[in-house]
Amino acid sequence: MASTAGGLARLQLRQFVPKGGIVSNPSCSYSTAAASARTPASKAPSKVTRTAASMHHKLRSSSVPELSRRKFGSSACKSSSWPAGAVGHAESDELPSASASKGKGKGKALTWIPSPPRSKTIADIQALKHHPEGSIPIVCLTAYDFPSALSIRSADIDLCLIGDSLANVALGFTSTQPLSLDAMIHHCHAVKRGLDAPLFSTASLLDGLELPPPPLVIADMPFGATFGSIDSGVAAVVRLIQETGVDGVKIEGSYEVVPLIKRLTDHGIPVMGHLGLQPQRVGSTSGYRVQSKTAQQAKEMLDASLALERAGCFSIVLECIPTRVGQYISQQLAIPTIGIGAGSKTDGQILVMNDMLGDLTGAGHVLAALSPHPDQPVEGTLSPPTPSPLTPPPPKFVRNFSLTR
């Protein structure tokens, strides 16, 4: 993916650079090889013959199709939302020099560096729930490495979660408990490099288009990182944010994590809660089971959700609970709820990217999907697809449904 995007960017640059041209960074200005030979290296040129900035200005001056269908807060995802740099005139292929703009003698050409679009914020996410025309579903997706982050960056994703589920789908563990804080920091670095990579931005810049705003980035606090004192938990969170640059953290737990969340939010650290099925505690729940199936359990989850909201959580993940429970909790909270296996009535949905792409899908799942009626068994004459002999079997934690003939 990265090589394809890089090739696209180089192809677009070649359209702007004449044969024998030399591109210089960071202004993307160029000159011919002959002109470079005539110009001493110690002497700066008095003007720029042509720049990618002026071409970009021409493209932005024309009608540019809007990629995003939604508006976030007071800023719209449209062509005018990028802060303007030092742009040239649409009629001219030249940029004014820095000294010329001050009315003085000669000077270096003004460097044009495009500013990236504003990243989505907590206010943008919460505004989707309280939209005047009705709640707009919040789109969340996980990312664990550079390629998956590039995919998220090119799509209109509201929230990117660097989840501890990477222990399962990226590292091959049977649970999330073996994941360490150091490993989480390692993967957060990879994701941030993908989200901040200029590959897609360069291609869209030269095409006259622009990407949607980068998503809000939240990282999971791994198992055990917050089990000690409040001070040690705060130290772990601060280390994760300082070393990786993520926007906030997600913490699994109920009343027992309220004091920690209160301390973090009092100091301005965004925290997302997580209730329902909590993979870090899968041992105590005897497996991955639906939670809050009784009225009493649903009432307890509602009370815990309200406690997390009062502690300062900006959003709460609800995992593996009945649809009616997820809907009722979402209606009672002022903050958004993000569901995973919690029905379609929550304020948003989150998926593990590998599950969405079917990377770990077994043959039984594929065969079940081929049935014209989900509530009826597949015909016995239909044989499961045969994988390649070189294809490794799916991990043990991935459920495969046996077929009854």
Q: Which residues are the active-site residues?
A: 319
Cα separations in angstroms, 345 against 5, 237, 277, 295, 340: 37, 31, 17, 18, 11
**Which residues is 71 bridged to in the sheet?**
76
* Closest to 280 in 3D by CA, of 222, 236, 354, 338: 222
CA distances from 205 to 38, 79, 211, 378 (A): 31, 11, 9, 49
**Closest to 342 in 3D by CA, of 274, 295, 286:** 274
CB neighbour class for 311 (10 Å; exposed up to 12, middle 13-18, buried from 19)? buried
Beta bridge partners of 140: 159, 350
Q: Which residue has the tokens 């802060």?
A: 83
358: left (phi over 0), alpha (psi -120 to 50) or beta: left
**3-class secondary structure, 170:** coil
CB count within 10 Å of CB 6 equals 16
First to last CA, the chain: 41
Residue type, 265: T
Structure tokens at 3: 């090589």
Token pair for 398:
């991935």
**Could you give the CA distance from residue 57 to residue 66 in angstroms, rounded to a whole number?**
16
Beta bridge partners of 220: 250
Pairing of strands 75-76, 71-72: antiparallel
* Spatial separation of the C-alpha atoms in residues 308 and 43, rounded to whole Å: 63
Residue 130's DSSP bridge partners are: none
